[in-house]
Copies of this chain bind each other. A is one copy, B any other.
Amino acid sequence: MAVSERGPRERMVFSAAQLIRRDGVTATGMRDVAAHAGAPRGSLQHYFPGGKEQLVNEAVAWAGRYAAGRVARFLAALSEPTPSGLFAEMVRQWTDEYRASGFEGGCPVAAATVDCAQSTDSTRGAAADAFARWTRPVAEALTDMGVPADRAESLATLMISALEGALLIARTERDERALTTVARELGPLLDASAQRPSQGG
């Protein structure tokens, strides 16, 4: 991922997301973002006249779109899609990263929430949008797999919640145990909900 052959603007948004998910919003400086993106510092005020707030919000939005895109790709890759299979893939993306590159980063949306939900309302809204954009394809996928429509959204929220929480624990422990645990424990519940709902399962 992270092809550097985009415009400098997009590179800065991407770099912001990377640094935010590693260090948090407040600890990430604008100068750091420019340096990480290999972009000139002067471009910051040109592309983001709204300042850091705008940059952070765009990074959060980017993360939401990215997560949604991943869901679509997971579904395309699964020959026989099941709810537990989808969730396992969502988790595996993180265990893969942690195994390959260490437990450096978490979810940028979570970082923005913890860091700005109280102080910067626009960022809180951006994070809410990101979660919504991420939840939607998950819920739709569950529906396609036979989950009743009214439960699909709830289960999607549960999946994302469990994933986000497990990410926190995994980072503190520097161990993917929490991630694999939630995947294993939640799998049967998810698959059971995909039975055709003629009678309650």
Residue ranges of A at the interface with B (Cβ–Cβ < 8 Å): 22-27, 103-106, 109-111, 113-119, 124-125, 127-128, 131, 151, 154-155, 157-158, 160-166, 168-169, 171-174, 177-178, 181-182, 184-186, 188-189
Given contacts A26-B27, A182-B158, contact A117 B106 (CB under 8 A): yes
User: Closest B-chain residue to A166, C-beta based?
Assistant: B161
Q: Closest residue of chain B to A106, judged by CB?
A: B114
Copies in the complex: 2
| Nearest CB of B to A133, in Å | 12
Bound-state Cα–Cα, A110 to B167, Å: 10
Cβ-defined contact, A157 with B161, below 8 A: no
Q: A24-B24, A27-B119, A113-B106 are known contacts. Are A168 and B164 too (CB-CB below 8 A)? A: yes
Residue contact B169 to A160, C-beta cutoff 8 Å = yes
Shortest Cβ distance from residue A117 to the other chain B in the assembled complex, whole angstroms? 5
Minimum distance in angstroms from A63 CB to a CB of chain B: 12
**Chain B hits for A125, CB < 8 A:** 172
Pairwise interchain contact B184-A154, C-beta atoms closer than 8 A? yes
5 smallest A-B Cβ distances: which pairs?
A: A161-B165, A164-B165, A26-B26, A165-B165, A128-B172
Additional pairs, 6, CB under 8 Å, beyond known A24-B25, A103-B117, A124-B172: A24-B114, A26-B26, A111-B114, A113-B168, A161-B165, A188-B189
